[in-house]
Every structure is written in C-alpha cells, then in structure tokens.
Amino acid sequence: MSSTPSAEEIARDATWLVQALDADKAVVRLVRMDAARYRDASFLDDRMFAERFDSAVVPWSDLPSDIATPATARWIFHIGHVGSTLVARLLGELDGVLSIREPRVLRDVAMLPPERREPFVPALRGLFARTFANGGMAVVKATSFVSEIAPELAGAAPTLLMYASPRNYIASILAGENSVKEMAALAPLRAGRVAGRAVLPQPSTPAEMAAAAWACEMTSLEATADALDATWADFDAMLTNMPAELARLAGALGINAPAERVTAIANGPLMRRYSKATEYAYSPDLRRELIAEATAHNRASIDSAVAMLQSAAERSPLLARALDRSG
C-alpha cells in the first residue's frame, strides 16, 4: 500500500490509475504507474498484480470531479480476439500517446445498471484523459463487453471499432484451446446481452457457440455506432497493409503520425510478438496459418455456424448490418 494521494496529485497526470471500483462501498483502488508500466502492461485488470504495485483504496468522493486536460481520451471498442491490444500498443508508440489497455474499472462500471453508473462516467472520462506529456493524448482500449456503454464513455471523442469477419473470428477461436474455454465461460453472459438484439438458436457445436459470441459482440458495436464518432477496422484487412492502416486509424483519432514513424512502428518488433504476452513470438503470417488450419479442420461446422447467423439476421436488423459490414 502507498500513502493516499491528494485530489491534486490524482488530477495532475496519469500517475494514479483508477484501476477498480467497488460501487457498493463507493471506493476505488488507485495504482501508481509510470509511462514504462503503462507501456509494458497488457491488461490493467487484476492480472496486473502478478507484479508488485503501490496502491491505495480511497473514497470515490475524494477523486477530482473536474479535470482539465488538453484533449479528451480516444477509445477502442472491439469484439475480442481481433488485434485490439496490438493496435493499442502500436498507437502507444507514437509520440505523446499514452496507451491504456483494459482497466478493470470500466468493466466494474459497465456491469452496473444505468442509474447506478451515471454518477461515475463523467469523472472517468476526465480521469482517463490524463497523460504524462504536455499536449499528450490517451488511447483507452476497453474490455469487449464494455462496448455496451461505449457512447457513455466516449461521448463525442473519436473512437475505433474493431472486428473480424465471422469466419475468421470463429476459426481464430477454434484455433486456441484457451479461447474455446474462455468462450464457454462467457456464453451465459453473452446470451443475456444479445437477447434484445438478435434471436439465436441454442448452439450445438463450438463453432456455433463462437458464432453466437460474434453476434453478441458485433451487434453491441452496431447498436452503439450511430451515437459515436466511429471509425471501423477489420483486423485481418489491416494486416494486409499495416503501415497504411495504422496511419488511417491515427488520423481518425486525431493523432499526429509522421509517415516515417508510422512505417517504422508498423514494421517493428511489436508486429512479431504476441501482444498480450510480448515474450512470445506471434506474427500476421502465424495468425493466417492458424486461421487457415482451423478452417480446414472445421469447415463444415463453420459453414453451419455462418448459416445460423444468416438465418437469424432475417429477424435482426443489427445482425444483418453486422454481416453486411463484414462481407
């Protein structure tokens, strides 16, 4: 534990991350960070505590309610397993950009009913706009299900919405044992979330479960997109020309991105590492190989899962729009 920071210290810069919220007790956990720790951390949920951090638990009322920053935060919302961590890391390599990836507090707030979360959202917008650099800009990547409250968090700020085609998404899930386990664990929550947007049959195969996950997350993005200043990005299309795509996304977010610097980042070491655990090698070619292999091994079940989505889309405008977008 650390000594409790003052409201002025919290407001000054991004040193004190608002990491978690206990809404019942109206307290937050603050974690002391520096630029290097933000850069290294794949996630800022409780997995970050595999390392030692100074922290403090303070009443929500002790946080500054009005923070003046040179720019609002930019936001990344996504459907999961579509390179959002990589893109957030790449953008964080640009001068003056602080990349903040999956702080737990956004999940804590997203799980509250609207009337309970309303008091927290305006302050969070200011708290996540803090950086370490004069004229700096924060880019915040949320956990996938936080997309449900994307307009509340982002407001009028430029926002990226990341996705993959249903076939590539399903194959990428089936290609990883851990991805399949995660999908199964999240299935009940997703069934509840998607219920108001699309009527899907009970999945009977892992491919159909992955298709249902895609439908849940994509209709969430589609439902919020009209209320956002949003730029869409198909991750697999990005990988065909990452320098151009990174420049496009930086421009959409209003980030200064000199061409030479963008090219160096897009061809640099981050593109050859697994973005959620950079000690492991991972590349666009390996992703393509894994998707191709999973597709070859599961072609019939993937075809059936996509047909399930197409049938459900006949009764769901949001799902139909998502399928049209993803080709």
pLDDT digits (tens, 9 = 90+) for 209-256: 999 999 999 999 999 999 999 999 999 999 999 999 999 999 999 999
Handedness of CA 269, 275, 278, 283 (dihedral sign): negative
56 is a domain residue: no
Which pLDDT score is estimated for 58?
96
Across 137-245, the runs of DSSP E, i.e. the strands, are 137-141, 158-163, 229-234
With a cut of 80, say whether residue 3 has pLDDT above it. Answer: no
Structural domain includes residue 36? no
The sign of the dihedral angle between the CA atoms of 180, 182, 185, 186 is: negative
Contact 125, 73 (CB under 8 A): yes
**pLDDT at residue 1 greater than cutoff 70:** no
Residue 175's pLDDT is 96
Task: Give 290's contacts (C-beta < 8 A, 6+ positions apart).
Answer: 171, 172, 175, 176
Q: Give residue 65's pLDDT.
A: 77
Q: What is the CATH number of the domain that holds 87?
A: 3.40.50
pLDDT of 275: 86
Q: How far is CA 173 from CA 118, 232, 274, in A?
A: 34, 21, 16
Q: Which of the pair, 89 or 1, is modelled with greater confidence?
A: 89
Return the closest-CA partner of residue 60 out of 10, 114, 12, 131.
10
State both tokens at 198. Answer: 């699309």
Which pLDDT score, from 0 to 100, does residue 21 have? 98
Per-residue pLDDT tens digits for 18-64: 999 999 999 999 999 999 999 999 889 999 998 899 999 999 999 99
Note down the domain range covering 115.
67-325
For 260, the token pair is 């030479």
Measure the CA–CA gap between 232 and 203, rounded to whole angstroms.
28
> Does residue 11 form part of some domain?
no
pLDDT digits (tens, 9 = 90+) for 140-180: 999 999 999 999 999 999 999 999 999 999 999 999 999 99
- The verdict on residue 187 lying in a domain is yes
pLDDT at 278: 86
Number of domains making up the chain = 1
Residue 213, domain member (yes or no) = yes
* In-domain check, residue 76: yes
Q: Is residue 162 in some structural domain?
A: yes
pLDDT, tens digit (0-9, with 9 covering 90-100), for 255-312: 999 999 999 999 999 999 988 888 888 999 999 999 999 999 999 999 999 999 999 9
* Local confidence band at 133 (pLDDT 50, 70, 90 cut-offs): confident
Give a yes or no: residue 47 inside a domain.
Answer: no
107 confidence band (pLDDT: 50, 70, 90): very high
